[in-house]
Amino acid sequence: MVGVISTAALAAVGLSMQFMMIINVLMTLYVVGGNALISRFIGQGRKRRASALLYSLTVFAIILSFFISVATYFGSSWMYEVMGSAPDVVEQGSMYFKILSLGLVVIFIDNLLYNALSAAGDTKSSLYIKLFSAFINAGLNYVLIFGHFGFEAMGIEGAAIATIIAYSFNVVAYYILIKKMNSKLDFLPLIRVKDLIRVWHVGWGAALDRGISSMSFLIFVSIITAYGTAELAGYQVGLRVEGIAFMPGFGFAIAAMALIGQNIGANNFDKAYDMGIISGRIAYVFMGSVGLVMILIPEYLVSFFTKDALAVAVASKYLILVGLAQIPLAIVFVYSSAIRGAGATKTTLKVNVMSLWFLRVIPSYIAYEMGYGIVVIFIIMNIETLIKGIIYWYIYQKREWLYTKV
């Protein structure tokens, strides 16, 4: 729907997701460590300890989100300018992100509660909540972006408001679920500083990993931005379509984190290892199948997002190439999440930093400076994914990460 507004609006919203990756770094401080510790507590049958930790992390998330909201609200224009965006992209992006920044508190809490429930083994409830939320988001997009049912047409600002309302629904639904549905978790108003320190001990490695990775992605996207607005929009559309393949990978990565953490908590290391293998195999099948569809009908998939001829051409080439890399990407998703969920965040930090910088960002910059087209950039990205998948497969097979102390 944003693509109907303009190519600049599409590029602006797409670029905002790169900024959200940076913000996700701060969420990682409490989400990854919280996931690892909550899943172990659940595996040990210690609901009160897990519930107290969830309460503590919710308070921390609210405080942290306040400071980030202030910074992003007043720095929204600067964020787009520093990426080298065209003036119309800066204008549209600033309008969008200022509104988004006001609702960061619900985004922070949503991320925490989603991962906490997943760590407790409840992913079905999250599925239903996210499905209903998606319908709310899409419906409000239709109403607020284009001005239906008596509402004023708000364009890109309407898209931001719809997103925040959908996230707010998620938080309310999660809270009701946790309090009323007798889940394995609750909000126990008790702050255990010792457990928070344990969470941060795991989280800082994951946060540094995400931070460096996100900066790498931003630099990578800035290289693509240098090719032009249509190329940037095409890349962002390609990412959205690829998200269809991402979802099974993310889903089974979350399953692997939860099941591995619970089994490690129960001292069943062999079963923990097997859970990652099974999750990975299912992810290969799903993501490989979607990758095949992206290779066969890329133009059809892209046509839902934009009609701009150049953006369609760029996005189609992107989908054909990334379709070939979906199986190694599944390995990266599941095995890196499994290793991270076991608390071995320093291992994933080393792999991701080395891979992204030396196999993706630096080669892409060299290719751009040498005058190669954007397709070469996409090929470099695929090669990096393949090599990283092989590295994670090797690390997973060694099993040393299973015995990480949290």
Residue 106 lies in a domain: yes
Q: Are 188 and 251 in the same domain?
A: no
The structure tokens 């989100």 sit at 65
Distance CA 82, CA 386 (A): 31
Q: Are 158 and 268 in the same domain?
A: no
Of 67, 385, 81, 367, which is closest to residue 249 (Cα–Cα)?
385
pLDDT in tens, 143-178: 998 888 888 888 888 999 999 999 999 999 999 888
- For residue 129, what are the domain limits? 1-204
Distance CA 406, CA 402 (A): 11
pLDDT in tens, 187-233: 888 888 888 888 888 778 778 877 787 778 778 888 888 888 778 88
Q: pTM for the whole thing?
A: 0.70
Q: Are 230 and 200 in the same domain?
A: no
pLDDT in tens, 301-359: 888 877 778 888 888 998 999 899 999 999 999 999 888 878 787 888 889 888 989 99
Q: Are 231 and 187 in the same domain?
A: no
Q: How many CB atoms lie within 10 A of CB 34?
A: 30
Distance CA 404, CA 384 (A): 27
Q: Are 191 and 159 in the same domain?
A: yes
**Token pair recorded at residue 305:** 């997002």
The structural domain count of the chain equals 2
